[in-house]
Amino acid sequence: MLHMEQTIINVKNVRINDSFWNNRIRNAVETAIPYQWRVLNDNEPGAEPSHAAMNYKIAAGVEKGEFHGFRFQDSDLAKWIEAASFSLIYRQDPEVERELEEIIDLIGKAQQPDGYLDTYYILKKPEAKWKEIAQGHELYVTGHLLEAAVARYLVSGDDKLLKIMEKNVDLIRSLFGHGEGKIDSYPGHEEIELALMKAYFATGDRKYFELANYFIENRGTTIGFLDDESFKEFAETNKHHQADYYQAHAPIRQQDAADGHAVRAMYFFTGAADVALEKKDPSLVAALEKLWKHTVGRRMYLTGGVGSQGVGERFTIDYDLPNDVCYTETCAAIGLAMWSLRMLRLSPEAKYADVMERALYNNVISGVSQDGQHYFYVNPLAVKPDVAHYRADHASVEPSRVKWFGCACCPPNVVRTLCGLGGYVYTQEGDDVYQHLYIGNEASLSCSGGPFSLTCESEMPWEGAARITYRGAAGARLHLRVPSYAKNFTVKKNGQPVCCTVTNGYALPEGALSDGDTLEVSFEMDAHFVAANPRVTEDCGKVAVQRGPLVYCAEQVDNFEYLNSFRADLKYPIGMEQSELFGGIRVLTVTGMRSDAAAWDADELYRDYAPGSMGETPATLRMVPYFLWNNRGEGEMTVWINA
């Protein structure tokens, strides 16, 4: 069902205050944002040179030199601006404000008189502006800069960057479209679509929606994109860079699966969902629902990762989900979370929130270390470091997080997600507020009765318990998500059990909410084994372990070498213990047997099997949440274990 009366909640109106997330957000605000500023300005020893800020200085005429980096290098700085803007929700930092003003002034000086803004083409290939739409990333860069401008405007009210980007968007509107003399095409890398919709929701200016709608509806219909020389250059020599790589093989309503580059697909579907909401278009919603079902039902990892192949950073075929060479880019999981949020705006169904939560608690925060200064681009589900270091087919897999990347889309992306996490907790439709995540927060909202606030105190993800206090005008209705893993879900109102009507996985307590009311949510979260569809070849005969939203993994540091020698005995329950690791976590234990390599001669490669001949001994496998792996040094890791 398409919901029509959405209120887009300003991210600054939901401030996270949560025992699990506070340290991660604080680390992002106090450590990662200053660290990334130094990296982007080439002032961090040991980090891959970025040159992103310098490119703007050269384009602005305040420094001399040449462009350095990928053609989309500007977008790294744009995502930092967005993250830094969101960080001001949590700490008013004069130094960050100064840096934001400095870089925004620089962007304004780099902008050309007609509104053009892309340092790669300004400095390196001015003759090729708007001639390499498939590979050029000009519209992608615009999208990230526009998102940054909206974030700055929403948090601080400062519209300086928004005005710069409005001029850039006006230029694009004058160039792209149907008709003689127009470029009738669409971006090679989607991003501008969702950014335009953010600008539309923030300003109400229809021109942003109209351009987003043009790009969404035009995709896969216009031959111009396929005639682009930069498209043909890749397509003629690489089977992984055909039209489906760009989601350009068919109009969205005719697409049956998430194909091609995973980040592009997630951003495309995110923008399309926003357009569908504004247009109230049932056919576009139906297309997105079909694509959603196929993506999460056949092409998503247990951790919420998507995009299994490194070549092309892309989806492959159904059920092709290898663990040790999977790509599962951090940015793609962030894209899946963004798409999930948009699907919740279209129709608040708990299945969308389940996936959003899965991605955020696993694949997304795996992308950043506990110190906030080391990052994963790729998030595998199994690692044997010596193999990863040597084998060519593991070339994209890093056994340890690194300080930065030449292609550094993920580090600022994960930090902007952490600082903007408040935007994922609720959606609102008129007087109906849907709480999707039990993350501690303080929210300031409004309903027909007037302004009200919600204060949520939560014990997630370690325990299924949250307490929500309502203050302010009566009139709002709070729908509480019942997670798919929750058992014995109950709600108390002002300390007394209350009946709830459950619709699409959301529990609505009976009776109106009034000033001072409290709702207590509780449910059990059992640690349990998960099996994969037998069509997933790599996971046949294996199980994974999950508790609540957290997927667990085994690391060599807690166990032994050759983790794959362990076999779980499923008749034993999973054990759980409180650990002081990482400031306090739940560690799980699995009972089984392991083959002892010491019982084999090093030169004895094979042996006739007989019961008891493999050197098997009883063993216990200790498991920690997947997002924490590789914070204690390099070693083996696996999510799926033999059973």
pLDDT tens by residue, 21-45: 999 999 999 999 999 999 999 999 9
Shared domain check, 260 and 179: yes
Q: Is the pLDDT of residue 224 over 80?
A: no
Q: Is the pLDDT of residue 544 over 80?
A: yes
Active site residue 63: no
**Banded pLDDT at 613 (limits 50, 70, 90):** confident
Shared domain check, 495 and 602: no
- Identify the active-site residue in 409, 419, 456, 500: 409
The confidence score (pLDDT) of residue 2 equals 52
The closest alpha carbon to 338, from 538, 82, 137, belongs to: 82
Active site residue 313: yes
Q: Is the pLDDT of residue 226 over 70?
A: yes
d(CA 410, CA 166): 26
d(CA 482, CA 438): 10
Residue at 13 is within a domain: no
d(CA 201, CA 162): 13
d(CA 528, CA 544): 8
Please, what is the average pLDDT of the chain?
A: 95
Residue at 351 is within a domain: yes
Residue at 582 is within a domain: yes
Shared domain check, 176 and 51: yes
Residue at 5 is within a domain: no
Shared domain check, 218 and 114: yes
Structurally, how many domains does the chain consist of?
3
Shared domain check, 589 and 518: no
Per-residue model confidence as pLDDT tens digits over 130-169: 999 999 999 999 999 999 999 999 999 999 999 999 999 9
Q: Is the pLDDT of residue 324 over 90?
A: yes
Determine the residue type at 497.
P
Shared domain check, 255 and 397: yes
Structure tokens at 99: 């840096």
Q: Which residues lie across from 314 on neighbouring strands?
A: 261, 309
Domain range for 26: 18-424
Residue ending a domain, among 524, 557, 590, is 524
Per-residue model confidence as pLDDT tens digits over 594-605: 998 888 999 999
Per-residue model confidence as pLDDT tens digits over 500-531: 999 999 999 998 899 999 999 999 999 999 99
- Identify the active-site residue in 313, 357, 538, 636: 313
The confidence score (pLDDT) of residue 386 equals 95
Shared domain check, 377 and 344: yes
d(CA 479, CA 500): 9
Structure tokens at 274: 């926003």
pTM: 0.97
Residue at 123 is within a domain: yes
Residue at 11 is within a domain: no
The confidence score (pLDDT) of residue 235 equals 84
Query: For the domain that residue 485 is a member of, what is the CATH number?
Result: 2.60.420
The confidence score (pLDDT) of residue 24 equals 95
Structure tokens at 117: 């803004």
Q: Is the pLDDT of residue 415 over 60?
A: yes
Residue at 620 is within a domain: yes
Shared domain check, 158 and 23: yes
The confidence score (pLDDT) of residue 6 equals 82
- DSSP string of 536-589? -GGGTTEEEEEETTEEEEEEGGGS-S-GGGEEE-TTSPPEEEEE-GGGSEEEEE
Residue ending a domain, among 390, 424, 458, is 424
Residue at 10 is within a domain: no
The confidence score (pLDDT) of residue 4 equals 55
Shared domain check, 548 and 478: no
Shared domain check, 416 and 444: no
The closest alpha carbon to 361, from 624, 550, 584, belongs to: 550
Task: Please tell me which residue, 179 or 171, carries the higher pLDDT value.
Answer: 171
